[in-house]
A and B are shown apart, each in its own frame.
Chain A
Amino acid sequence: DAGVTQSPTHLIKTRGQQVTLRCSPKSGHDTVSWYQQALGQGPQFIFQYYEEEERQRGNFPDRFSGHQFPNYSSELNVNALLLGDSALYLCASSYRGLSGYTFGSGTRLTVV
């Protein structure tokens, strides 16, 4: 039973570019949350997707957008990348957003 799968594992982008990160939830889970973890900090909530709609959103600008597909997988898109967007991006899945989140190993994004 696969857990949460994220791709790619590492990514280097240039300032101003756009990036798409992908997440496949754990089997049986239907809700996907995205987090940004900067160096030395805890994960910061970006947004959550349920039934293909954004259900909750944290304090992130509109440059951060997402999508959820009918198979519950999700994408995180970041436009106009800034150096400060360099971080570990974590995806977590759950059933109906209830407790018991399962995290993926993350995508390490470096913006140069």
Chain B
Amino acid sequence: DQQVKQNSPSLSVQEGRISILNCDYTNSMFDYFLWYKKYPAEGPTFLISISSIKDKNEDGRFTVFLNKSAKHLSLHIVPSQPGDSAVYFCAASEENNDMRFGAGTRLTVKP
């Protein structure tokens, strides 16, 4: 069962522009959401998270937005840099249960 979906397998943006990665979920009991970044031959690295009691969390160039009514979250990267090129995974958890991941979006930032 795909409880977390990332419908865009890839995204390409120009350096300096905004990257917007999207994620949808079906389980209304999810109360914590995370974004991970993965480079080839490495494990996923935690990027940013948001609790269901918030609708926005910002950390430097990275901002996550949560729309609970739409069961949708997005990750904004501004400005995008070539080093941001990686696969980004959206994950969600319910009451400290383990995470459910989306299939990932491959972001390419062109110089």
Contacts and interface: CB of A to CB of B under 8 A. Distances in A.
Interface of A: 4, 33, 35, 40-45, 48, 56, 58-59, 90, 92, 97-106
A71 to B, nearest CB: 21
Contacts of A98: 96
Contacts of A99: 32, 34, 49, 93, 96
A43 B98 contact: no
Contacts of B101: 35, 42-45
Interface string B61-89: 00000000000000000000000000001
B103 to A, nearest CB: 5
Interface residues of B, number: 26
Nearest to A4: B43
A92 B100 CA distance: 13
Given A33-B98, A45-B99, A99-B32, 19 more contacts: A40-B9, A41-B104, A42-B89, A42-B101, A42-B102, A43-B89, A43-B101, A45-B98, A48-B98, A56-B97, A59-B1, A92-B43, A99-B49, A100-B46, A101-B46, A103-B36, A104-B43, A105-B41, A105-B43
A58 to B, nearest CB: 7
A107 B46 CA distance: 19
B103 A41 contact: yes
A56 B42 CA distance: 25
A95 to B, nearest CB: 12
Contacts of A45: 98-101
12 contacts: A35-B101, A40-B9, A41-B104, A42-B6, A43-B101, A56-B97, A92-B43, A97-B96, A99-B93, A102-B46, A103-B43, A103-B44
B45 interface: yes
